[in-house]
Amino acid sequence: MGRGMAARLAAGREDLVVYDLVPDATEPLRQRGARVAANIGDLTRRSEVLFTSLPGPPEVEACVFGEDGVLANLRPGQVLFDLSTSSIALTRRIDAAFAERGATVLDAPVSGGPAGAASGDLVVWAGGSREVFDAHRETLELFSTPHYVGGLTTGTVTKLAHNMTGYLFLLSLAETFSLGVKAGADPLELWKALRLGVVGKQPAINMLVKQFLPGEYETPAFLMKLAHKDVSLATQLGRELGVPMRLSNLTLEEMTEALARGFGDQDSRSYLKLQLERAGVEIAVDPDELARAISEKP
């Protein structure tokens, strides 16, 4: 992904300096006009704004804290956008070390994959100084759609929440499709049919806007007790067919507890309150702010 982002930066700027542990990786960028640094220290000394795109925390730590790394060559006023998916603890360590030298770090992981990096169809989720983010927005726009999330580490939180949501969603679909196909449905016809239902007609993330985000479950779109009945029937079918239904069984347990708590006549999403309660958080987004966010283009 770093190669694609760097290529777009090279196309938009004349002062790009690049470095990679694998020399061949920088050759296409050199041909586009980028200058190739000898090492990380050289890159840092020749740059005002640094972007790191690395596999994970160990590589980020080595790049920043290693011998002749970023920190050893840092100057006041320099900015680091860490585009890697890294750890919150490491980001805070980097921030503390940078602050002592008058420099700034923003955690700014990306989403869009290698294809998005090459085309510019990426989102950058940035956490840290809003002033610094705004000052470098035009550069970020050369290779992405930059989105400021909030204070330091919120970019990483957003990226982890995004990826976790995607993989949980995929696992739930694998479970429901395994049930449907074992019960006799054709997988393609099942997929085509599900696209016509409430789940398929909208992005799954939009299913949160009417009840979950505003924290309003008292006016039901669909009763909790009826949703419990549907999930009960689905898990019963799974038992009859010998299909493992781990996520569905967990969902049924949550819904059963919700019924026991008196949520039966509330909205079907009211069982989600149990997770928030256990986590010790409250979610009640102001309706006007939510309406404005819904009206905005993604």
Q: Range of 229's domain?
A: 202-295
User: Is the residue at 214 inside a domain?
Assistant: yes
The model's pLDDT over 223-232, given as tens digits with 9 standing for 90+, comes to: 999 999 999 9
Q: Are 91 and 149 in contact (CB under 8 A)?
A: no
Residue 204, sorted as left (phi over 0), alpha (psi -120 to 50) or beta, turns out to be: alpha
Please report the DSSP string for 211-223 in residue order: TTTTT--SS-SSB
| Dihedral, CA of residue 106, residue 20, residue 161 and residue 288, to nearest 10 | 40
Same domain as 264, residue 144: no
Q: What pLDDT sits at residue 298?
A: 72
Judge if 152 and 289 occupy the same domain: no
Q: Among 158, 186, 211, which residue terminates a domain? A: 158
Neighbours of 32 (CB within 10 A): 15
Question: What's the confidence (pLDDT) of residue 259?
Answer: 98
Please report, for the domain that includes residue 131, its CATH number.
3.40.50.720
**Mean pLDDT in residue range 103-114:** 96
Mean pLDDT of 274-298: 94
The CATH number of residue 272's host domain is: 1.10.1040.10
Residue 146 has pLDDT above 80, yes or no: yes
Please tell me whether residues 229 and 145 are part of one structural domain.
no
Residues 246, 149: one domain? no
**189 is a domain residue:** no
pLDDT in tens, 165-195: 999 999 999 999 999 999 999 999 999 999 9
Taking only the tens place, the pLDDT of each residue in 36-75 is 999 999 999 999 999 999 999 999 999 999 999 999 999 9
Q: What is the pLDDT of residue 145?
A: 96
User: Does a structural domain hold residue 168?
Assistant: no
Which one of 158, 187, 218 terminates a domain?
Answer: 158
106 plus 223 within the same structural domain: no
Pairing of the two strands 17-18 and 49-52: unpaired
- pTM (2 d.p.): 0.93
Q: Is the domain of 13 the same as that of 152? A: yes
pLDDT in tens, 198-223: 999 999 999 999 999 999 999 999 99
Overall average pLDDT of the 231-237 stretch: 98
Please say if the pLDDT value at position 15 is more than 90. no
Looking at the fold, whether 133 and 208 belong to one and the same domain comes out as no
Average pLDDT, the chain: 96
- The pLDDT assigned to 241 comes to 98
Check pLDDT > 70 for residue 14.
no
108 pLDDT above the threshold of 80? yes
Is position 208 within any domain? Answer: yes
Residues 249, 108 within the same domain: no
Task: Name the packing angle between helices 246-260 and 272-279 (round to 10°).
Answer: 90
Same domain, 85 and 152: yes
Is there a single domain that holds both residue 125 and residue 8? yes
Question: Distance between CA 87 and CA 92 in Å, rounded?
Answer: 9
36 and 146 part of one domain? yes
Residue 256 binned pLDDT confidence (cut-offs 50, 70, 90): very high
Above 90 in pLDDT, residue 297? Answer: no
What is the structure's pLDDT at 1?
Answer: 86
* Lowest pLDDT segment from 21-35, 137-151, 170-184: 21-35
Which of the four pLDDT bands, split at 50, 70 and 90, describes residue 81?
A: very high
